[in-house]
Amino acid sequence: MKGDRVAVCGSVGSGKSSLLCSILGEIPRISGGGIKVYGSKAFVPQSAWIQTGTIRENVLFGKEMNKAFYDQVVEGCALNRDIEMWAEGDSSVVGERGMNLSGGQKQRIQLARAIYSDSDIYLLDDPFSAVDAHTGAHMFKKCMMQLLYGKTVVYVTHQLEFLDASDLVLVMKDGRIVQSGKYQDLIAESDGELVRQMAAHRKYLNHVKPPPECNYLTNGHQQQSKTEVTENNFEHHISNGDSLMEKTLQEETETGRVKWHVYSIFVTSAYKGALVPVILLCQVLFQGLQMASNYWISWAAAEEGRVSREQLIGIFALMSGGSSMFILGRAVLLSTIAIETSQRLFLGMITSVFRAPLSFFDSTPSSRILNRSSTDQSIVDTDIPYRLAGLVFALIQLLSIILLMSQTAWQVFFLFLVILAISILYQDYYITTARELARMIGIRKAPILHHFSESISGAAIVRCFNEEVRFLKNILSLIDAYSCVSFHNSATMEWLCLRINFLFNLVVFLLLIILVNLPKSAIDPSLAGLAATYGLNLNVLQAWVIWNLCNVENKMISVERILQFTNIPSEAPLVIENFRPEPDWPTNGKIELEDLHVQYSPALPRVLKGITCTFPGEKKIGVVGRTGSGKSTLIQALFRVVEPSEGRILIDGVDISNMGLQDLRSRLSIIPQDPTLFQGTMRTNLDPLQQCSDHEILEVLNKCHLAGIVAQDSRLLDAPVAEDGENWSLGQRQLVCLARVLLQRRRILVLDEATASVDTATDNVIQKTIREQTSRCTVITVAHRIPTVIDNDLVLVLDEGSVVEYDSPDRLLRDNSSKFSKLVREFLKRSSDSNLHWDLT
């Protein structure tokens, strides 16, 4: 009904997200009646979709600014504190896919986008899973109960404490709605699916006991003033106009002439340029034999009886055959050089990109990388070698013709020099403009690719918000900008060709006038005819030389752009031969952090500030803290994704900064917050190196609650996995990543919100599996869910990049003033189903 709040819950892979997509019309109907939707819609997907642009542009999403309502939305989505701390406020630029935002920030921005649209119907796919307990409670109260009051809201959630606020609850299992009704009615059904889920939820909460001598039902609110919603800029910085984010929008480009070292690198990339002189020699011999054969025919046919017919044909055939062999050799060698040069440049660029540090991808959209590895590389593959060679060959041919003409009508030689000087002036005038136009073409193509990529990934949102027309106008505007530059580039070329053709037509005209007016005794008529024949080609040839000369420099800009990517600063070496760890390292898994300081760039503030602590081997360590406190940065430092500015990290007494990245990372395992699956099969995703048997893989899948899902496909482990795992739900993808890690059997395991997108029942089983399968491993768990870390051996509490507490959970809970006990109180306050009284106050 209109104005109802409908909650959708269920286990992983039960079809909750598919239900929302069906309402949106994104999934085709196979059978049954259609879905009728009355009113405008807004959609918040489980995987956040953020556009490249400012925070304000992402929230407004094409709507007019209503400052009062905008401020309410920002406050309701707990973005006001973030905006205050960003250098440019809500005008701060976010990168591609919101790459410089935390998961919670991205989720809150897209929720703000949906609310600001002021739609009639809201479809929210688990919008509170990426934020901590306090932030989630704040958002639910402000957004769901106040800003969306009177709106029709369908929200998917794994947090069952939010069900009581709904008017209708839908419980899903195996793609079907198995229960529907009011919350109180459903929990009264003792054998219902919701009751089973609530039992698992209570079991989940039983892991967490409130701090002694503290009633979280009454005292939870008292702590709010000290624990404000703080998702600050310590974890992911959105900095000012001088920061790397400005570079995201402004592509780096050279100016002026293409440097000579670019030509040098291109020519010498293949075999150090050893084949270039051979190709030139083949061209000279080909040209010489070709002109000699023409001269031979002209000379022999001028006077009957000079040579016999057999001699005439034989010598001509010999010279023609020789020239054919030389041009064949030239073509083979040129193709060989072109392929080798192209491969070396491409491998150099790709290797450099693969080895680039994280900061490079923060400031470089994927469309820019695709543009250089496709458009620019295609020009290097199929265009530049042959244009450059064609220029050299045409120059040799042109010099040969000039030499021949100077022997017959030497007066033309001086005229040619004058015309050539004028042509060079034209060429120099043209190339200054054309070169920059060529650079602009390369730069203006990347935004088109980026817009297409971004629009396709967010197509469901664009259609849902009825923004197709605006996006179409944007892409047409980008295409117009590209076409404008491309047109002017072609127009300048035609401008040059017109003038060059006119000048060289003048040369040919004067040549013919001179030849016609020469006395018979001044030149052999056969030689004059040969000169006239070549002179007629002079016009085309000279224009071709000038045109190619200009075009080669324009095309060499692609080499220049590729070379920019081959000079990207690299991460540390993969292997350092003088510092290889033992084959069984690490044996204990002890991790020591000594005065660890981390900052993403010298211009930005430090994210981690003097962290000193020890993670004992074979222990379970939980890392908690407000969103933005430095948890993910600590994990990045452990994997050396970002290098410490001060301090060091030791694993089993070995300083990891001294070893190669491959040696380090191959000994650690991680389940990231954003799970990654690759296109292929389930087997290749779980065991890419083919080190495990099918029995071992299926056993691990069973422990991760995936065996039943895999068994639904007759191909089992050979079942296809789509790009980015799109044919699996987000929760299932996280479970696949867990299975992959368990198969690796490494001594150090990092879980970064590994079960954030699964229901509590599945989370209980997964946590039990992790405890059983990693009993001899050091496990570092980053989590918003307190029960995930409550039974760990130690808990590390971070706040604004510093260690505020580090002890066993029991000791921290006994300290009523500890940060950890405050986090526990907030979690219990929100999660206890006996304490839910959502209202409009």
With b meaning 16 or more CB within 10 Å and e meaning fewer, what string describes 520-556? eeebbebbbebbbebbeebbebbbbbbbbbbbbbbbb
Token output for 762: 């599945």
Comparing 28 with 598, which gets the higher pLDDT? 598
Highest mean pLDDT among 299-303, 470-474, 495-499, 788-792: 470-474
- Mean pLDDT lowest for which of 123-137, 237-251, 397-411, 561-575? 237-251
CA distances from 527 to 305, 315, 515, 541, 796 (A): 18, 19, 10, 20, 94
pLDDT tens digits, 719-749: 888 887 877 877 788 888 888 888 888 889 9
What is the model's pTM?
A: 0.71
Residue 655 — very low, low, confident or very high, per pLDDT cuts 50/70/90?
very high
235 has pLDDT over 70? no
Q: Is the dihedral of CA 702, 704, 709, 713 positive or negative?
A: negative
656-661 average pLDDT score: 91
CB 465 within 8 A of CB 117: yes
236 has pLDDT over 50? no
Tell me what pLDDT residue 289 has.
85
- Mean pLDDT lowest for which of 348-362, 473-487, 531-545, 595-609? 531-545
Token output for 155: 């929200």
pLDDT tens digits, 163-179: 888 889 998 888 888 88
Report the distance separating Cα 709 and Cα 693, nearest Å.
19
List helix spans (H) across 458-467: 459-464
411 has pLDDT over 70? no
Which is nearest to 454 in space by CA: 728, 57, 115? 57
115-120 average pLDDT score: 91
Comparing 657 with 394, which gets the higher pLDDT? 657
Residue 647 — very low, low, confident or very high, per pLDDT cuts 50/70/90?
very high
E-only strand ranges, 506-607: 591-598
Average pLDDT, the chain: 80
Token output for 641: 């994704």
- Mean pLDDT lowest for which of 10-24, 25-39, 401-415? 401-415
Whose tokens are 């989940």? That residue is 204
220 has pLDDT over 50? no
CB 734 within 8 A of CB 758: yes
Q: DSSP secondary structure string, 479-503?
A: HHHHHHHHHHHHHHHHHHHHHHHHH
Highest mean pLDDT among 106-120, 194-208, 416-430, 598-612: 106-120
What's 225's DSSP letter? G
User: Which distant-in-sequence residues (6+ apart) come within 8 Å of 40 by Cβ?
Assistant: 117, 119, 120, 121, 466
185 has pLDDT over 80? yes
Token output for 196: 């089973």
Whose tokens are 């400052």? That residue is 67
Residue 272 CB neighbours (<10 A):
9
834 has pLDDT over 80? no
Tell me what pLDDT residue 835 has.
43
CB 613 within 8 A of CB 772: no
pLDDT tens digits, 808-829: 988 888 888 888 887 777 777 6
Tell me what pLDDT residue 594 has.
92
CA distances from 747 to 400, 563, 589, 670, 697 (A): 73, 40, 6, 11, 19
Residue 708 CB neighbours (<10 A):
11
- Phi, psi at residue 651, to the nearest 5°? -120, 120
Percent of the chain, pLDDT > 90? 15
Domains, the chain, ranges and CATH? 5-206 (3.40.50.300), 246-566 (1.20.1560.10)
Report the distance separating Cα 101 and Cα 835, nearest Å.
33
